[in-house]
A and B are shown apart, each in its own frame.
Chain A
Amino acid sequence: MKMQKSRLRPLTLRNALLSAAVALGLVACGQESTQAPTSTATPTAMTSAFSDQAALGAGKFAANCAACHGVNLEGTTLGPLLSGRPFLQRWGDRTPSLLFSNIKANMPPGGNEGISDADYLAITAHILDTNGVDAITAALTASTDFTIADNASELVANRQRSEPPAPEGITVAGNVDDYSPFVPVTDAMLEAPDPADWPMIRRSYDAHSFSPLDQINTANVDSLSLEWVWNMHEGDSEPSPLVYKGIIYLINPGNVIQALDGKTGELIWENWAGPANRQDMRNIAIYNDKIIQATTDARLIALDARTGEQVWETAVADNTQGFENSSGPIVADGRVILGLAGCARYIKDDCYISAHDANTGELAWRFNTIAKANEPGGDTWGELDDIFRAGGETWITGSYDPDLKLTYWGTAQQKPWVPVSRHLTINDEGLFTNSTVAINTDDGTLNWHFQHVPAEALDLDEVFERVLVNRGGEKLVFSLGKYGILWKSDRVTGEFKGYKETVFQNAFTDIDAVTGRVTYREDIQNAKLNEWTSACPSSAGGKDWHSMTYHEPSGLMIAPLSQTCLENAAREVALVQGGGGLAASRKFFEMPGTDGNLGKIGAYNVDTMEEVWSHQQRASFHTGTMSTAGDLVFVGDLDRRFKALNARTGKLLWETRLGTSVQGHPVSFAIDGKQYIAVTSAVGGTSPRTVPDVIATEITYPRWGNALYVFSLPGN
């Protein structure tokens, strides 16, 4: 629908903007800003109710939104830009009413006390005005339903600084063969990786994050020294470098992949797959002669591992519907298997895990993580129509058992976060969310599932890595979610085998020792709209995306943990197509009884499930843990420290300080018989970053400085 124009700039942008696919999200942040807005939108020729409303909204935006989204809607490291092409691509074909309800339900995430509907409408008007919506005069109401792009006459890029167009494709040409003769990667190589390699996220299909190299060990780690450092592209980053025959394949923010000589740090090739944003991608995969990359806009791309040239590309999901990826694939038995994120909207399509032919990208199968009404498990969503069943993201890469031909994935919780917001109760379990799902790699069918936390109610998901352990004839799978509970199950049958609370939790009053069934505290079960509930851990997670390691020589599962708590209040969400979201206000505080130690590394005997040692400190940990046959475990923290502990005792043996917070997934590899340790420094990182930022405010670090650091022993 088009509104009557008040000015003479009649061009519309709707058609021009719907071709590309760039997602834009409102982020989990909000903060006072003292800067005055300096709108660069074309000045209006005359005032109108709409322009008055937008002017009022500029002040409200500055007070409540600008700290994360920028005074001029240009975006910051804490939140994406809300202007220009990305905004209109996402919102151009939708209505002010939907934008208003989305902002009201989700922003700012810390709480919206004191922000009235009139304020939200003014903020909405300011965003539209800044984005060139100039064809209207009437003030917005909660039911204003014109199509945004039809009423915008120009594209307002509105960045504070002009930037050259981002490159596409190869920007640095080279060939890996000139450094190390390339040998195609086979299934056998992935099933039993060469000790010198780190050929997938967490190194091996069983996700142990363990290196069999022992040249660097407890006796000599105090001599570990920097070999070289490589600055990476800026943006949110939690990368896991991939190392194969001495070449490091490195995923950067903005969907950029680089091939580096692991010995010298020399750049061999670089490819920009786009979109050139600041979004995060955790990992890539290698198979045969290809590097396989998921993009933040939900595409899947294969590059020639030797040169970086694109070989094939396919769409995983429709990014204009909000779907995206933040983790990459694994390749199992010739199939590229990957998850999906951005599934909180009320739309027809739901989240899934998909498998593609590694040689062509052709879709092999999909497994939907949300059960529709007429499917098995479909009766666990109350009376909700299929379109309003949301969540179940698979935003962390799964693992694989080649003998059982099963791939193991965690799924995220239902959306919105609190049952009352999603028009459900604590009894509506919502299969297959917050579960472990074991999927047959041949056809994508579900072999078994175990739902760790049915009807999740606090934004504490169980999506993280599944670690496969063989112990005394048992084939086990371990996982550790945001509740901080280490779960143990039989990975053949899915039978519950035990649990351990690794940090303080008070969300559950009971965890059945036989079945693993959890019982929420009564006030959490019955939480009402706008009613604050206090619980531990917080959405930063007892454990979050940082992978834990299984140190097989000691039988210890060694996990990076976090100790914070939250107050949570549900917001109202209308059951409207295209709506949805997360819909809760949240506040954060230190976990009682921890003496302010946000960071904890805990080591657990996988047989007894007892804690063997822990290492606790004020700064939160921001890398996965990586253990080695040298009896070491490596981890990095917010306070820029990269540390090596004795894997058997937890004793601190070595530490150094990097340019900014140490974040990502440490790896180890060897070239010509010399062992290296590599780790990234990075910014971003979602809740595990934003929660410590408001609790441990005394910890300071540069808000830039993504880099790859490589260490070795001198003289080897």
Chain B
Amino acid sequence: MTPAKLVNTLRRVFSLCFSLAILVCVISFNQNTARAAEANGFRARLSPMPTTPQTKNTITGSGEALVSLTGNTLTLTGAFAGMSSVATMAHIHNGPPAQPGPVVAALTATEATDGELTAKIELTDEQLMALKENALYVQIHSATNPAGELRGWLFAQP
């Protein structure tokens, strides 16, 4: 092998190694980013609003909302099923666990008894703090339960 070829080969090897290194770095970065996203992941189990023997068959359903946080930007996806009537509205509210509170933002919900939830919301610093203190919750309203049918507080994902 001539010196020139050797240099070219070394360049290629170096280039390949550099590329691999970059790739490893990118993968590593992405994994770290994913870990960071996980650390900023929240979940709400959606279950019926307060009910009684009189209303247990008219306040029904279940669901889940998943939240990822990038800076102050909250991205929410979710699904629900088995509601007694079609969803009419969905919101994020501010209130500590098991204590109702005011609406913070609106969500988009499928107008059906089974459907999906989506939202992208810019939180204030105060709302961000509330999220981290488990003081934000998701609530879905329905045609026959305008005061709310499903509800769930957002908790950090482990």
Contacts and interface: CB of A to CB of B under 8 A. Distances in A.
A375 interface: no
B57 to A, nearest CB: 7
A536 B99 CA distance: 9
A108 B54 contact: yes
- The interface centre, meaning the residue of B52, B99, B151, B155 with most chain A CB atoms within 10 A of its CB, is B52
B46 to A, nearest CB: 10
Contacts of B60: 697
B60 to A, nearest CB: 8
Contacts of B151: 589
A214 interface: no
A695 B48 contact: yes
B98 A697 contact: no
A535 B51 CA distance: 14
Interface string B92-126: 00001111100000000000000000000000000
Nearest to B50: A587
Contacts of A695: 47-48, 51
B47 A596 contact: yes
Q: What band does the interface of chain A fall in when counting residues whose beta carbon is under 8 Å from B?
A: 35 or more
A110 B52 contact: yes
Given A64-B54, A110-B54, A565 B98 contact: yes
B52 A30 contact: yes
B48 A586 contact: no
Interface in B6-26: none
Given A592-B153, A595-B45, A506 B53 contact: no
A694 interface: yes
B97 A504 contact: yes
Interface in B68-96: 96
Given A504-B97, A534-B99, A589 B48 contact: yes
> Of B53, B100, B155, which is in contact with the most chain A CB atoms at under 10 Å from its CB?
B53
B152 interface: yes
A690 B55 CA distance: 13
A58 interface: no
B56 A697 contact: yes
A587 B51 contact: yes
A486 to B, nearest CB: 21
Contacts of B56: 31, 693-694, 697
B52 A534 contact: no
A567 B151 CA distance: 14
Interface residues of B, number: 24
B67 interface: no
Contacts of B155: 592-593
A29 interface: yes
Contacts of A64: 54
A592 B134 contact: yes
B54 A593 contact: no
A110 B48 CA distance: 15
A111 interface: yes
Contacts of A694: 51-53, 56
Given A506-B98, A593-B134, A593-B153, A68 B53 contact: yes
B98 A536 contact: yes
B52 A111 contact: yes
Interface in A86-118: 108-111
Contacts of A122: none
B49 interface: yes
A119 to B, nearest CB: 14
A221 interface: no
A588 B50 contact: yes
A695 B60 CA distance: 9
A690 B98 contact: no
Interface centre among B49, B51, B100 (most CB of A within 10 A): B51
Given A30-B53, A31-B56, A590-B47, 18 more contacts: A29-B53, A32-B54, A67-B53, A108-B52, A108-B53, A108-B54, A110-B52, A506-B98, A535-B98, A566-B50, A587-B52, A587-B55, A589-B47, A589-B49, A591-B98, A593-B97, A593-B155, A693-B56
Question: Which 3 A-B residue pairs are closest in the complex by CB-CB distance?
Answer: A110-B52, A587-B50, A592-B97
30 contacts: A29-B53, A30-B52, A31-B53, A31-B54, A78-B53, A108-B53, A108-B54, A109-B52, A110-B52, A111-B54, A506-B96, A534-B99, A534-B100, A566-B50, A587-B50, A587-B52, A589-B49, A589-B151, A590-B48, A592-B97, A592-B134, A593-B134, A596-B45, A596-B47, A693-B53, A693-B56, A694-B56, A695-B48, A697-B56, A697-B57
